[in-house]
Chain A
Amino acid sequence: MATLQLQQVVKRFDNTTTLHGIDLDVADGEFVVFVGPSGCGKSTLLRVISGLEPASSGRVLIAGEDVSNRSAAERGCAMVFQSYALYPHMTVYDNMAFGLINSGVKKADVVRKVGEAARMLRLEELLQRKPTQLSGGQRQRVAIGRAIVRDPKLFLFDEPLSNLDAELRISMRAEIRDLHTRLGTTMVYVTHDQVEAMTMADKIVVLRAGKVEQIGAPLALYNRPANRFVAGFIGSPRMNFLPVAALGTALTQRLQLPVGADSVGIRPEHVVPDAAGAISLLITQIERMGSSSLVRGKIAHADAGPESGFEFVLNGQTELQERSLVSLDFPAAQLHCFDAQGLRMELAAQRHAA
């Protein structure tokens, strides 16, 4: 049970800087997810928090104490690794007991704690098996069990679900959320999958190239992304972007786009086909899933730019056909506006709504 604070954490490897001054505040009991494309530094950040890597500069505070100079074992964290990192030659019981024994816990207590964790994760039957005799999901749970047993202040997860197949991933996601509800411990979770981030997090930290792009609750990031990167990263299918010039003068005036607006974005699920709409789309492909339809096409406008690929989603089934034109409208409330640097700009309409 602890808070986590990062103050200007910088990490350099030889001459490359992987983390450029990260600031972060995590409240007690929060489930925080670090998400970002590969190479953004999220795993490095996790390792710095855990103590496996020292920060080049900056401070890490756990439960208010500065642990920047402490070794990994002394920080009171527990980590679940991407490939589980179970000790292959030890039984499940020994794997979970190892950390406790090293810390000098008495045998009776070790047995009790391991038993509790095993019960919580339904591992009682497997205690005498070795990791090679377990399935992927079972190994996952042993890795989590090994972490729980140490009663840590902070749980750290390093992409724990990426080695599982899709079905297992969904059930394990639920189990981990469940665990969080039960234990109430602060958890820091790293993933590259924004769906995991959206469904599991209390707070999401979006990272790119070693910098924080935005921190906030999942819906906050969805509704009010701070910049183009976050807007395009969060939400599936991906947000559509258009240069302002492609909107046409009529639409631009109606939307009251602020001065300096360079591009706009709208999510596929918010686009509305409207016979009177100002945007014309040439449909190239329709994915008919039965429950919904994904329509892909190109914006028919000279200024649409090379990225004129555009998607929108309709509920249910549609009469629209490929190789035809459809007119679209962008509701002002759902439109996102960005300046030339990609930063979010407020729309007059939204200011009223907010």
Chain B
Amino acid sequence: MRQFFTRTRGRTRLHWTDWLTYLYLFAGLLLMFAPVLWLVLSSLKSEAAISDFPPTLLPYTQKMVMLADEQGVQKLRPLFLVQGADGKPHQMVELRRIGIIATMVDAVHPEQQVKINIKLRTPVREVSVATGNYTGLFAKFNFLQNLNNSVFITVVATLITLLFNSMAAFALSKYRFRGQQTVLLLIIATLMIPPTIILVPAFLIVSGVGLFNSLWGVIWPAVATPTGVFLLRQYMLTIPDELIEAARMDNASEWRIYWKIVLPLSAPALAVLAIFSVMWRWNDFLWPLLVLSKPEKFTLQLALNSFQGELTTEWHYLLAMTVITLVPVTLVFAFLQKYIATGIASAGVK
């Protein structure tokens, strides 16, 4: 008997702690993904379906049938299920409705009109995706403009970040110059200065240079990331100095060495920094909130925030907007998660 218990403990078969482990993991999966899934599903619901309570899992809309009324007017009319006199449910189409009484006809016998209390009927529904939520965004709001703003800021800031940070990392890893330690120390110091404590003066400087309400006002302050410099420097330290010395002997200028040798060799680290930068800039909120006050200049994040004030009842648009905003980052996650994880682990260890 004791043998039986000890044999299944741990090892080849699953231990009870293993069951607990997988239970925890699946619970985590549910907790982390379900809210996002719910968001996406909800964003596909029509305006009517969204205000349904209790909410349904899938997006439904009511089925419509093309039918002519007694005057011969053909149009799409809503379909309902009505309990008939024979106890069986019948499918009936609504012609018109006054108050709580609806005039309905049986689809197969459209001549016979019946007046039915709306309490006695349930709508016939089908699963239908309200793509109008998404297309409406582009038609009704400045949404495309906001999307462009976010994309512009993200792409340009990332490119400049990669350039500036790699140049600085190159200088700090491949040269020995006076004041190098000070510069390194300054960059470490910057790591410790969170932007929240210099909001007011930073805002002054940005306005002072005339970048208030300009996308560049969001881009320029953000491109000199200390994390980026460190990440790249760590990586560049592993590039053998001999390569650079050989290039010097080949009469290459330092710029050429940087551009043609060091930069290509740093591609993996650059990729990680690019991913981080894309994430940071796409998700930026507080700083753009201060710098950009005109709605046509808003990034997606600002647009979302301001729309939720105006659109407290228009959730179907807001949800669609939210989903679009999270798509790029989700794609990055799906394909490049490995890079992010290793990047953070190594930066965290530092």
Chain A residues in the interface with B (C-beta under 8 A)? 54, 56, 69-71
Please name 9 pairs of A and B residues whose Cβ atoms are closer than 8 Å in the assembled complex, sorted by A: A54-B11, A54-B12, A56-B12, A69-B3, A69-B6, A69-B7, A70-B6, A71-B6, A71-B9
Binary per-residue interface labels of chain B (6-40) against chain A in the complex, 1 for a CB within 8 Å, 0 otherwise = 11010110000000000000000000000000000
In terms of DSSP, what is the predominant structure of the interface of chain A?
A: loop
6 extra A-B contacts, CB within 8 A, seeds A56-B12, A69-B6, A69-B7: A54-B11, A54-B12, A69-B3, A70-B6, A71-B6, A71-B9
The distance from the CB of B10 to the nearest CB of chain A, in whole angstroms, is 8
The distance from the CB of B206 to the nearest CB of chain A, in whole angstroms, is 49
Chain A neighbourhood of B6, CB < 8 A:
69-71
Kindly report which residue of chain B lies nearest to residue A69, judged by CB atoms.
Answer: B6
Chain B neighbourhood of A69, CB < 8 A:
3, 6-7
The distance from the CB of A148 to the nearest CB of chain B, in whole angstroms, is 28
CA distance A56 to B12 in the complex (A): 9
CA distance A65 to B51 in the complex (A): 72
Chain A neighbourhood of B11, CB < 8 A:
54
Chain B neighbourhood of A71, CB < 8 A:
6, 9
CA distance A71 to B3 in the complex (A): 12
Chain B neighbourhood of A54, CB < 8 A:
11-12
CA distance A70 to B9 in the complex (A): 10
The distance from the CB of B11 to the nearest CB of chain A, in whole angstroms, is 5
CA distance A70 to B11 in the complex (A): 12
CA distance A70 to B3 in the complex (A): 9
Residue among A69, A70, A71 facing the most chain B CB atoms (10 A cut-off):
A69
Interface members, chain B 83-118 (any A CB < 8 Å): none
CA distance A54 to B11 in the complex (A): 7
The distance from the CB of A37 to the nearest CB of chain B, in whole angstroms, is 28
Chain A neighbourhood of B12, CB < 8 A:
54, 56
3 tightest A-B contacts by CB? A54-B11, A69-B6, A69-B7
The distance from the CB of B122 to the nearest CB of chain A, in whole angstroms, is 56
CA distance A145 to B169 in the complex (A): 49
Kindly report which residue of chain B lies nearest to residue A66, judged by CB atoms.
Answer: B3
Chain A neighbourhood of B7, CB < 8 A:
69
The distance from the CB of B46 to the nearest CB of chain A, in whole angstroms, is 51
Interface members, chain B 248-294 (any A CB < 8 Å): none
CA distance A147 to B11 in the complex (A): 25
The distance from the CB of A296 to the nearest CB of chain B, in whole angstroms, is 37
Chain B neighbourhood of A70, CB < 8 A:
6
The distance from the CB of A57 to the nearest CB of chain B, in whole angstroms, is 11
Kindly report which residue of chain B lies nearest to residue A70, judged by CB atoms.
Answer: B6
CA distance A54 to B7 in the complex (A): 10
Kindly report which residue of chain A lies nearest to residue B2, judged by CB atoms.
Answer: A69
Chain A neighbourhood of B9, CB < 8 A:
71
CA distance A168 to B6 in the complex (A): 42
CA distance A69 to B12 in the complex (A): 12
The distance from the CB of A159 to the nearest CB of chain B, in whole angstroms, is 25
The distance from the CB of A239 to the nearest CB of chain B, in whole angstroms, is 42
CA distance A276 to B11 in the complex (A): 65
The distance from the CB of A58 to the nearest CB of chain B, in whole angstroms, is 14
The distance from the CB of A216 to the nearest CB of chain B, in whole angstroms, is 34
CA distance A71 to B15 in the complex (A): 14
CA distance A273 to B202 in the complex (A): 91
The distance from the CB of B236 to the nearest CB of chain A, in whole angstroms, is 30
Kindly report which residue of chain A lies nearest to residue B11, judged by CB atoms.
Answer: A54
CA distance A244 to B166 in the complex (A): 68
Chain B neighbourhood of A56, CB < 8 A:
12
CA distance A287 to B9 in the complex (A): 59
Binary per-residue interface labels of chain B (134-174) against chain A in the complex, 1 for a CB within 8 Å, 0 otherwise = 00000000000000000000000000000000000000000
